[in-house]
């Protein structure tokens, strides 16, 4: 292990989203003596995907049985709720409805329900149209799944609490913000990390870099990734005070299996209010949250990758519809009216936006499952899309297991 000097640590974790911080928390809990540093380039933790998503604790109902996503989401969701209860993080296990509007959606709804059974999802039931109205009086639907264990949470608050606990367990561990990694150099078993005017040293590295995961892997010398992160922005609307009484819980459509997103939905927020969205449009800046955000390097990077174009050609109809809706409140409202027909233009107003990291292979297919790989003295979380925030503690546990195996971290006596 590394020597006990300032800026020298046993393990350095790069990335201060909820997956990186949960990994630090899990590692520190199992190995209290290990000195951990977490490096985050922004001024605060959880500034990108973690802090700009819809705040949903996903149940795990959608994911292929036996997959990383299914296993980690179910286990992680239960553990996250327990963590929130124990540490006073704002949350509410309020449940959600997945609603079929048309007859052709019924077999898809049934398939989701069967997946829920296979994944061991608790508190699920099928509702008919009258039962839907009892829970959500304004919602149109012929059949629905009520998923009682879905919740909402303050993901930023959860991230900050985990970070606080890391340094509480080991006061020699550190959380660094405003610390962007520029260069990584290896000298035998040790890594030198250059971040601005700071230099850090560590025996072992863990990368949880979200929207920058592929680039950071290359900085660490990983070749032949066979994937690229492509950013997709999701715009949200909010219900105005006039529209708030029309949605009480979380309402989701039946996802279209031909499109790699869950579709526009209604989400009660833990701090109050209801969000509607998101759509999904290609973004010209990986960390751009405005419709006009642009970064030349990000755009060139994405559009020079054949997988991006193959994705566009496969889903061009959906893509055009999403882009039109991104610039039209009227079209966005029309989509929302499928689920809540009585919504009017003055029931919604523009809200915030988030950007999700989509890992694409060269054939334009989205890499569905979580992708975590070990290389020499590093662990890379290459793909951690939704439900990674819900599954963060389970992912942190997986990474801790990998670290114990590959990093030869010994338990202290």
Residue 409 pLDDT > 90, yes or no? no
Give the CA distances from residue 2 to residues 114, 189, 213, in Å, rounded to whole numbers and listed in that order. Answer: 49, 10, 25
Question: Residue 93: inside a domain, yes or no?
Answer: no
Residue 58 pLDDT > 80, yes or no? yes
Q: What is the mean pLDDT of residues 309-322?
A: 89
* Neighbouring residues of 255: CB distance < 8 A, sequence distance ≥ 6: 62, 108, 261, 262, 263
Question: Residue 126: inside a domain, yes or no?
Answer: no
What kind and span of H or E run contains 180?
A: none
For residues 206 and 355, membership in a common domain is answered with no
Q: What's 373's domain CATH number?
A: 3.50.50.60
How many domains would you assign to the chain?
A: 2
Q: State residue 189's pLDDT score.
A: 84
What tens digit of pLDDT does each residue of 182-196 get? Answer: 999 988 889 999 998
Question: Residue 32: inside a domain, yes or no?
Answer: yes
Q: What is the mean pLDDT of residues 203-221?
A: 96
What is the pTM assigned to this prediction?
0.95
What tens digit of pLDDT does each residue of 105-150 get? Answer: 999 999 999 999 999 999 999 999 999 999 999 999 999 999 999 9
* Neighbouring residues of 215: CB distance < 8 A, sequence distance ≥ 6: 209, 229
Question: Residue 315: inside a domain, yes or no?
Answer: yes
What kind and span of H or E run contains 340?
A: none
Question: Residue 173: inside a domain, yes or no?
Answer: yes
Q: State residue 376's pLDDT score.
A: 86
For residues 279 and 345, membership in a common domain is answered with yes
Q: State residue 196's pLDDT score.
A: 85
Residue 1 pLDDT > 50, yes or no? no
Question: Residue 380: inside a domain, yes or no?
Answer: yes
What is the percent of the chain where pLDDT is above 90?
A: 87
For residues 291 and 360, membership in a common domain is answered with yes
For residues 166 and 302, membership in a common domain is answered with no
CA–CA separation, 299 and 307 (whole Å): 14
**Between 322 and 305, residue with greater pLDDT:** 305
* pLDDT category of residue 70 using cuts at 50, 70 and 90: very high
For residues 300 and 198, membership in a common domain is answered with no
| In contact, 61 and 145? CB cutoff 8 Å | yes
Question: Residue 209: inside a domain, yes or no?
Answer: yes
For residues 44 and 165, membership in a common domain is answered with yes
> Among the three residues 334, 349, 366, which one is the final residue of a domain in this structure?
366
Question: What range defines the domain where residue 278 resides?
Answer: 228-238+273-366
For residues 201 and 350, membership in a common domain is answered with no
Question: Residue 76: inside a domain, yes or no?
Answer: no
For residues 215 and 171, membership in a common domain is answered with yes
What SS3 class is residue 59?
Answer: coil
For residues 357 and 383, membership in a common domain is answered with no
Q: State residue 413's pLDDT score.
A: 52
Residue 2 pLDDT > 70, yes or no? no
| In contact, 325 and 332? CB cutoff 8 Å | yes
CA–CA separation, 294 and 199 (whole Å): 31
Residue 320 pLDDT > 60, yes or no? yes
CA–CA separation, 368 and 385 (whole Å): 8
Region for 26 from its dihedrals, namely left if φ exceeds 0, alpha if ψ lies in -120 to 50, beta otherwise: alpha
For residues 27 and 42, membership in a common domain is answered with yes
Query: In the predicted model, what is the mean pLDDT of the chain?
Result: 94
For residues 315 and 375, membership in a common domain is answered with no
For residues 34 and 164, membership in a common domain is answered with yes
Alpha helices in 35-154 (DSSP H): 68-87, 106-118, 129-135
């Amino acid at each position: 292990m590394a020597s006990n000097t300032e800026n020298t640590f046993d393990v350095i974790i790069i990335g201060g989203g909820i997956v990186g911080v949960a990994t630090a928390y899990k590692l520190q809990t199992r190995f209290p003596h290990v000195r951990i540093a977490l490096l985050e380039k922004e001024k605060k933790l959880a500034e990108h995907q973690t802090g700009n998503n819809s705040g949903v604790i996903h149940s795990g109902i959608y994911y292929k049985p036996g997959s990383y996503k299914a296993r980690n989401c179910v286990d992680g969701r239960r553990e996250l709720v327990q963590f929130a209860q124990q540490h006073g993080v704002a949350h509410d296990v309020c449940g959600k409805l997945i609603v079929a509007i048309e007859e052709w959606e019924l077999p898809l709804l049934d398939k989701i329900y069967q997946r829920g059974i296979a994944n061991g999802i608790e508190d699920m039931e099928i509702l008919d149209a009258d039962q839907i109205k009892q829970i959500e009086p304004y919602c149109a639907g012929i059949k629905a799944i009520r998923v009682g264990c879905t919740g909402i949470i303050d993901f930023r608050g959860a991230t900050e609490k985990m970070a606080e606990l890391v340094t509480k367990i080991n006061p020699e561990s550190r959380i660094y913000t405003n610390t962007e990694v520029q260069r990584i150099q290896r000298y035998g078993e040790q890594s030198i990390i250059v971040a601005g005017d700071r230099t850090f040293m560590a025996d072992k590295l863990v990368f949880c870099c979200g929207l920058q995961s592929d680039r950071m892997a290359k900085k660490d010398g990983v070749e032949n990734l066979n994937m690229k992160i492509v950013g997709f922005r999701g715009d949200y609307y909010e219900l105005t005070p006039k529209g708030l009484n029309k949605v009480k819980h979380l309402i989701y459509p039946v996802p279209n299996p031909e499109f790699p997103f869950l579709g526009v939905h209604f989400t009660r927020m833990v701090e109050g209010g209801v969000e509607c969205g998101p759509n999904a449009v290609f973004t010209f800046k990986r960390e751009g949250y405005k419709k006009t955000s642009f970064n030349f390097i990000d755009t060139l990077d994405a559009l020079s990758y054949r997988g991006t174009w193959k994705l566009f050609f496969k889903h061009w109809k959906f893509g055009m519809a999403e882009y039109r809706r991104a610039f039209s409140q009227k079209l966005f409202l029309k989509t929302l009216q499928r689920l809540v027909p009585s919504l009017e233009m003055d029931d919604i107003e523009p809200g915030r936006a988030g950007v999700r990291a989509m890992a694409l292979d060269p054939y334009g297919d989205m890499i569905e499952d979580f992708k975590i790989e070990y290389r020499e003295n590093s662990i890379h979380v290459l793909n951690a899309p939704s439900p990674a925030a819900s599954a963060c503690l389970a992912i942190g546990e997986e990474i801790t297991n990998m670290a114990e195996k590959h990093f030869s971290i010994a338990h202290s006596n």
